[in-house]
Each structure stands twice: as structure tokens, then as C-alpha cells.
Amino acid sequence: MDKTRLENYAKLIVRSGLNVQDGQEVLIQCSLDQPEFVTMVVEECYKSGAKRVTVKWSHMPVSKVNYIYRSLETLSEFTDTERAEWQYRVDKLPCLLWLDSDDPDGLAGTDSQKIASANMARFPSIKPFRDAIENKYQWCIAAVPGKEWACKIFPGIPAEEAIEKLWDAILLCSRVTEDPIAEWDNHNKNLAMRCKFLNDYRFDKLEYKSLNGTDFVVGLNQKGIFCGGGETTLGANIYFNPNIPSEEVFTSPMRGRADGKVVSTKPLSYQGKLIENFWVEFKDGKVIKVGAEKNQDVLEKMVAMDEGAAYLGEVALIAYDSPINNTGILFYNTLFDENASCHLALGRGFNNCLENYEQYSNEECEKLGINSSMIHVDFMIGSKDLSIVGVTKEGKRVQIFKDGNWAF
Ligand code: ZN
């Protein structure tokens, strides 16, 4: 890949994504796939004033072997080292960058129930740390090509070529132009305009309809707001872009208010399995029935993971004509696929989708209708003919999406 384009991408990630400030620490989590690019990013962090950049390498085949050979007991352990690492994050609030290149099938052949049980056992230990840093630090997820991932998306061609094609797709979807920082400023303004339009109406609910069978109503939170693009940290007030790419305008709906059926428009890659042609039915906010042509059992297990897994945490609006959807590629990766079309997420909601959320504790946010769960799984429901109508408390109806795209 052309070095200048990669440098532009590294700049975008560090300056617009993390927005690293003078004297901050940065933690980078990545796989062994693109060490030269990771080095570029590290250098860019230092040029932006970072005082320490730590890279935490991983390798999925090693994770897989661990999952296979370790007992549920040792997998469930929350070690002193981990505790110290989390405490360090609470104390120093380092920026966190995750460069994702994972093989979507990398954990195939492992016992997903064992992994889920281990995660569930560890969750209560991790949650207090996560709650303590939430919304207080800059973080960003971006992607780089891994060989297995690239070969899955582009089968039948040499790996080198597939990697090059995936680089191209990542850079295109991430809006890495000659001046990606200006491009993202513009993009963020656009998303902010859409959020303002939606927030000014204070819709009580959204009604979804599509010829594919989607016929669904979701209740919105009266204290809720739509967000999109960049976010601002609490306390330090630093603007950053948590997802590159990002096309969505989203909110956390009111827990307990969702009725009807939604039909998925893209397969869902979950724990190494692909759930295909599926639908989900809700009553009073809760999933009461699911169906899938492939891997229905995985979907059933997912919604039964914990109490909140059967409730919605997110409602996201994205034009059918998004740069990602227009590539026509199924990425088998949430960062891209979730930004390809309108989606919902089961599980954990976002406190920062409540107005003045910083005034509330986590428990209060839950009471106000933000769902809590150990999972947050997005699934796509955007179709070419999708219609979404916003309805206010007074009964005023406003067309928000028409024929799959924004209606305003
Ligand atoms: Zn989303």
C-alpha cells in the first residue's frame, strides 16, 4: 500500500480518532498483522505529544490454543496482573486504540459456551473498573488487514492481493482522502446536523416498515438524545472519534418499549459463527422469539446470555447509500458491517445517550431506561425500501427514512 496513504490514515487515527494531547499516555491493542503500520501510528502518537505509548500485541491462534487447553476455572480468573492493569487505566486514563485485524473465523473449533461462561464469571470483577473510566478517556477502534480476514473477504486470489484489496476498502470506507482530517471535520458536521434535527423533535417512538417483513415500533427515551460522529470526554472535554469508520446516528432506546418483528438484512458474525437470514420478535421491549436459517441456536444462546441480552441497547440510523454498503463487501466485522446500514443492538445501552448523563450514576441511568448487559451485539436491518417514521408524543408524524435513505 502507498506509504503516503498509510501515513494519512495513521494521522487520522491519532489526531482525529484519539486526538492525543500533550503529555498523555496511549495504549494500543493489536495483532501481529501490520507491524510497520503500528510503528507509524506509535510515531504519530509521539509527534502529537504522547509521553508513553504501550503496544499490547496479541495473536488469535494463541488465544485459540488458550481457550482450548485452559480450564474454565483458569479462564474465569481475574488475575492480580489484570487488576493492576485496570487500576492503571483508572489512574492514568490512557487513550486506548484498538487496531482490529482479527480473523472472523479465528475461534472456530473452540467451545463458545466455555468462553461465554468465563467472560460472565470475570464480568463482575471488570465492571467497576470499566464504570470508573467510562466516557472519561479517548478511545478509538480502527482496522488494518489481517491475512486470514482478507482471504475470507476476497477468496480465490493470492493473499498479498487480498490484503491490498482490503487495505483499499478500509481506507475508502474510513474516508482517507488527501486531507482526511478536514474530510472528517466535514463528516462530523453533517452527522451533527442530523442529530440536531432528530433531537429537536423529541420523538416518542420510531416506526419501521419494510417489504422484507420488518414491522416494528421502538420507544425512545424522553431524556434520550441521538449522537453521531465524535464524542467529548467528561472532565477534560476532549473531542475524539471512537469509531473509524463511522456513519451512524444512534441512541439508546427506552428499555421495555419495543414491539413487532425485525428482519435482518445482513448475516451476523458472532463468536466465530455466522447467523444467517434471521429475524427477531419483540414484545414490551423483550425478545420473545428468534428464527434463523443458519445457526439459530447461537442466536438463541446470545439473547439468553443474561437478563439484558434480550433487550435493546441501541437504535442506529445509517443511509442505505453509505460508502460501506456501496462497496458491496460483507466485512464479517462489526466496525464495518454496522456502519453499512440501519441497525439495532441487543444488550448494553449507552449512558451518554441521555441528556446530561454525567449527573446520573450507572444505577440511575438503568432506572431511566438504559439497558445493562454484558453483551452489545449489533445486527443490520437496513433495507433498500426501509421506511422509518418518527412519532412525537402529540402524534405528529415525520418521515425520517424513505427508500432506505435519509428523508431530510
Ligand atoms: Zn451502532
CATH number of the domain that 91 lies in? 3.40.1830.10
- The Å distance, Cα 195 to ligand 1 centre, comes to 14
- Cα of 160 vs centre of ligand 1, distance in Å, is 31
Q: 259 and 158 in one domain?
A: no
Shared domain check, 162 and 273: no
Q: Are residues 115 and 217 in the same domain?
A: no
Distance 147 CA to ligand 1 centre (A): 26
Cα–Cα distance for residue pair 130/109, rounded to 1 Å: 30
Q: How far apart are CA 291 and CA 220, in angstroms?
A: 25
Full residue range of the structural domain in which residue 41 is found: 3-173
Comparing 39-48, 59-68, 108-117, 224-233, the range with the smallest average pLDDT is: 108-117
Is 163 in the same domain as 273? no
Shared domain for 215 and 169, answered yes or no, is no
Place of cell 503529555: 23
How many domains are there within the chain? 2
Quote the pTM value: 0.85
Does residue 327 form part of some domain? yes
Å from CA of 1 to ligand 1 middle: 29
pLDDT band at 112 (very low <50, low <70, confident <90, very high): confident
Is the same domain home to 218 and 122?
no
* Main-chain phi, psi angles of 377, to 5 degrees: -120, 120
Q: Are residues 206 and 167 in the same domain?
A: no
Domain assignment of residue 273, yes or no: yes
Any domain includes 182: no
Residue 223 sits in the same domain as residue 156: no
Distance 65 CA to ligand 1 centre (A): 31
Q: What residues are neighbours of ligand 1 (ion), with CB under 5 Å?
A: 316, 338
Q: What is the pLDDT of residues 289-326, one digit of tens each?
A: 999 999 999 999 999 999 999 999 999 999 998 889 99
Which residues, including other chains, have CB under 8 Å from residue 95's CB and lie 6 or more apart?
A: 18, 20, 24, 25, 26, 27, 50, 137, 138, 139, 140, 240
Above pLDDT 70, what percent of the chain?
100
- The alpha carbon of 316 and the centre of ligand 1 are apart by a number of angstroms equal to 5
Q: Is residue 233 part of a domain?
A: no
Ligand 1 centroid from CA 58, angstroms:
25
For residue 180, being part of any structural domain is answered with: no
Write out pLDDT tens, residues 153-185: 999 999 999 999 999 999 999 999 999 999 999
- Has residue 341 got a pLDDT over 80? yes
Task: Quickly list H helices, 288-405.
Answer: 296-303, 323-327, 334-337, 362-367
Average pLDDT over the chain reads 95
Contacts of 167 (CB under 8 A, 6+ apart): 1, 144, 145
Report yes or no on 22 lying in a domain.
yes
Please say which residue of 173, 194, 217 terminates a domain. Answer: 173
What residues contact residue 386 under an 8 Å CB cut-off, 6+ apart? 208, 209, 210, 214, 320, 342, 401, 403, 404
What the block records as the C-alpha cell of 239 is 473531542
CA–CA separation, 190 vs 194, rounded Å?
A: 7
| Coil, helix or strand at residue 183 | helix
Q: What is the pLDDT of residues 18-30, one digit of tens each?
A: 999 999 999 999 9
pLDDT score, position 338: 86
* Co-location of 217 and 141 in the same domain: no
* Over residues 102-125, mean pLDDT: 90
Is residue 301 one of the residues assigned to a domain?
yes
CA of 19 to the centre of ligand 1 (A): 21
Measured in Å, residue 261 CA sits from the centre of ligand 1 at: 19
The reply to whether 74 and 127 lie within a common domain is yes
Query: At which of 133, 158, 173 does a domain end?
Result: 173
Three cell numbers at 190? 453533517
Distance (angstroms) between ligand 1 centre and the Cα of 342 equals 8
Determine, yes or no, domain membership for 185.
no
367 CA from centroid of ligand 1 (Å) = 22
Q: Are residues 333 and 374 part of one domain? A: yes
Question: How far away, in angstroms, is 43 Cα from ligand 1 center?
Answer: 30
